Amino acid sequence: DVKVTQSSRYLVKRTGEKVFLECVQDMDHENMFWYRQDPGLGLRLIYFSYDVKMKEKGDIPEGYSVSREKKERFSLILESASTNQTSMYLCASSKMQVNTEAFFGQGTRLTVV
Amino acid sequence: AQSVTQLDSQVPVFEEAPVELRCNYSSSVSVYLFWYVQYPNQGLQLLLKYLSGSTLVKGINGFEAEFNKSQTSFHLRKPSVHISDTAEYFCAVRRQAGTALIFGKGTTLSVSS
């Protein structure tokens, strides 16, 4: 079974802190993604990566950065957390081919106070 | 740009009733279509996918979906729902290799007895 593991289920951080969300997949997938999920807005793409050290901005990259130093690991970084970044963050991975689905982690619920 | 529209944000039904969750997509080129389910406090799980071939696709838990190219729709159906089907359902589209899935805003299915 494909497994996508996010390092934390719940996080509480203070405004202005630098926050790292970590994601690891164990199926040698080329693509990895970070989405943000908010009620009524669905899943919005923050960043994705199609190879090590490669990244592409999604629909809402402002206030976020990412790092992919190894194929299996994709990190989302909030440089200076703000209360409007309180949300559910979902990591996913997939093979490169277009006719493949994405596999999701359990999500990290981040609260910024 | 491609987009996905889920026409109903909430669908309440009684147990054992049939249900249809509607999804329309916009794209002038071939797309690959997916339905995901999210149970409370969990990540997303693939229900089914349309890649090519038969326009009627069967998935897990008794769900099926029909791809209609002329109407650019991919509606999800189940002939008889259970309480355990209560969840949020997301329609998604992918157009090119190496790109991310684009999601609709989700439909909350609430099944009551």
Condensed to tens digits (0 to 9), the pLDDT of residues A23-57 reads 999 999 999 999 999 998 999 999 999 999 899 99
Of the two residues A92 and B2, the one the predictor is more confident about is: A92
How far apart, in whole angstroms, are the C-alpha atoms of residue B90 and residue A33? Answer: 17
Which residues of chain B does A99 touch, with a Cβ-Cβ cutoff of 8 Å? 32, 51-52
Question: What is the per-residue pLDDT for B31?
Answer: 81
Strand partners, A103: A93
Residue B61 CB contacts under 8 Å (≥ 6 apart), including other chains: B37, B47, B78, B85
Q: Does B90 contact A43 at a Cβ distance shorter than 8 Å?
A: yes
Distance from CA of A70 to the nearest CA of B (A): 17
For chain B, percent helix, then strand, then coil, each to nearest 5? 5, 55, 40
Check if the beta carbon of residue A65 is closer than 8 Å to that of residue A79.
yes
Mean pLDDT of B46-56: 90
Q: Which residues 75-94 of chain A have a CB within 8 Å of chain B?
A: 90, 92, 94
Question: What is the per-residue pLDDT for A93?
Answer: 95
Residue B28 pLDDT more than 70?
Answer: no
Q: Does A40 contact B9 at a Cβ distance shorter than 8 Å?
A: yes
Residue B96 pLDDT more than 80?
Answer: no
Pairing of strands B87-94, B73-78: unpaired
How far apart, in whole angstroms, are the C-alpha atoms of residue A54 and residue A32? Answer: 10
Place of tokens 């339905």: B35
Percentage of chain A exceeding pLDDT 70: 98
Condensed to tens digits (0 to 9), the pLDDT of residues B52-76 reads 888 899 999 999 999 998 899 999 9
